[in-house]
Each structure stands twice: as C-alpha cells, then as structure tokens.
Amino acid sequence: MIYRLCGVDPDNDQRWPHYLGALLAFSGVGVLLLYIVLRAQPALPLPLGRTGLSPAVAFNTAVSFTTNTSWQIYSGETTVRSAAS
C-alpha cells in the first residue's frame, strides 16, 4: 500500500541517476530542516533560555551532521546552551 501511495513499482530497478537525485533531495531536505531547527531554537517549545545559532554556524552544523563529517566549528556544550549559564 505504501508503494502505491508513493508511486513505486517494486518490479523496476532504480537506476543510478534516479538514486542520486533521491539522495541529494533527501539530504537537501535534511540540511534545510536542521538549519531551521538550529536557527529557531528560541521559538521552539521549552527553549530553556537557549539562543539560536548564527546563520553561518547553523549552516555549518547542519551540513556537518547531514554529511556525517563531524567538523563543527564550535564546541556544542558551549554554543547551544542556556542563557542562564
């Protein structure tokens, strides 16, 4: 039923250009959603005094996590923290 809803034919093979397009689209959506979450931190429920990241740091972090490269330009414990600390 899920295949029919998504328009997937289970008997067809997926060629590499279609796979590449799906991979890039999925990664792009992941970067965009993570960027939004990092920038909108104060507006989320229970922000606990946290501030949003700057655009450059949020983009760097989103790309780093999405690509699994783990090359953040900050120490997470000191950047995304409570304003009270």
- Work out the mean pLDDT of the chain and round it to a whole number: 82
Q: What was the pLDDT predicted at 84? A: 47
Q: What was the pLDDT predicted at 85? A: 47
Q: Is residue 74 within 8 Å of 57, Cβ to Cβ?
A: yes
For 56-68, what is each residue's pLDDT tens digit? 888 988 998 888 8
Q: What was the pLDDT predicted at 80? A: 58
Q: Is residue 11 within 8 Å of 35, Cβ to Cβ?
A: no
How open is the CA angle 17-23-29, to the nearest 5 degrees? 135
Instruction: Look at residues 55, 50, 59 and name the one whose alpha carbon lies nearest to residue 79.
Output: 50
- Which parts of the chain have pLDDT scores under 50? 82-85
